[in-house]
Amino acid sequence: MIIEFFINSCVFITSISVLSIFFKDKILISKSSTTIREKLFIGMIGGLLEILLILFPIKVMPDLSINFHALPIILSSIYGGTLSTIVTTVIINVLFYLIFRFSIVSIFFLVINLFLAIGFIFISNTKTTIKNKWVYSTLYSLVVSSIGSIILIKNTQLLVQFLIIYYLNNLLLTYFVYKFMEHLSKAFEAYRTLRTEASIDFLTGLNNVRQFNKSLHRISIAVQKKEEIQYLSLIFLDIDYFKEINDKYGHGSGDIVLKNLANILTNTCRAFDIISRNGGEEFSVLLLNCPTADAIQVAERIRQNVEAYSFHISNKTTIHITISIGVSTYPSLTNNIDNLLSDADTALYKAKNEGRNKIILYKGNSLQNGFNRYNIVP
């Protein structure tokens, strides 16, 4: 019996480990975060897991054996939701029908599994912790299975012995699986946190400079191959006199300005434009399929929105800021896409030196005002 229990444990842990590889970004977060296709897949995995468990039953007495057919349904309900539970239950019932055909046994297990599925669906949809869902589902499965055992086993002494062995094995394996799922959840949460911190600026929620560089490299390759993207414009901007804001009002106020500026950029640009905080008070916007004239229009819209915005840095203090902007476009202005960033930076540097609060457009080896407030310079 110990060897058979060990085999069942290995089946569970191996199946969960394989499943978690495909769903490490979702399955251990929330069942609502998975797509319908993923829910169906989780339900199918639960059904296949049940097939494996039936192949390795635990013989406790000469004519009696146990398996953990409720546990795959619990996993499907907690981590996949209603649809996954239904799929797993259907697979299990079809399996019992194929084994026992249309008989009292198959009908009996059909009813038991339906009661289990209904109860697990109800528990999985209650607003409580994952731990409580495991506890409630386990207790419910023991009650339903006990009722089934009482109906099938007429010998009282044999029934008591069977239930004791079943309870011990079921509780032990369920606890083992729960702790393993808890371990996976913490491990993948740490993975997701590290991955987010590696690509997202902690203060503004925008892409950080690492993610900006990765995006620029990926898009540059696509542009050169003419894969859907024909033009690539880069807006590089910097907050004017930001150091004075920090010195006068404190770094906390400076952080408020940065957060609000990030919101302005997000609300001004298109949803698929790539907005990043490149460091300090420097921000960038990668404009996909955006020729020079349109890029300058976007830059001017950003400049105007920032200039008009009231930054509330405290209950009694409101300030206004301006930004300087450099713009470069490949291939119409910048011949070498590898120089797109440096060209925009050069244009930004000139905008800062020529009085700030303006847009400078990089054009070949020359720099010119990209916008004279109302009209694009030809």
Known catalytic residues are: 281
Closest CA relative to residue 210, chosen from 160, 284, 154: 284
Long-range Cβ pairs for the range 17-23 (8 Å, 24+): 17/184, 19/45, 20/184, 20/188
Contact 10, 52 (CB under 8 A): no
The bridge status of strand 323-330 relative to strand 359-363 is: parallel
Helix (H, G, I), strand (E, B) or coil at 251: helix
Contact 19, 45 (CB under 8 A): yes
> Residue 237 and residue 249: Cα distance in Å, rounded?
22
Contact 286, 215 (CB under 8 A): yes
Q: What is the DSSP string of 10-60?
A: HHHHHHHHHHHHHHTTTTTT-GGGS-HHHHHHHHHHHHHHHHHHHHS-EEE
Helix (H, G, I), strand (E, B) or coil at 243: helix
Long-range Cβ pairs for the range 25-31 (8 Å, 24+): 25/188, 25/192, 27/79, 27/80, 28/79, 28/181, 28/184, 28/185, 28/188, 28/189, 29/192, 31/78, 31/79, 31/80, 31/81, 31/84, 31/124
Lookup result for tokens 């008009």: 308
**Rounded (10°) angle between helices 209-224 and 340-353:** 120
> Residue 237 and residue 327: Cα distance in Å, rounded?
9
Residue 102, token pair as written in the block: 């249309």
Residue 189, token pair as written in the block: 């949460």
Closest CA relative to residue 51, chosen from 119, 98, 85: 98
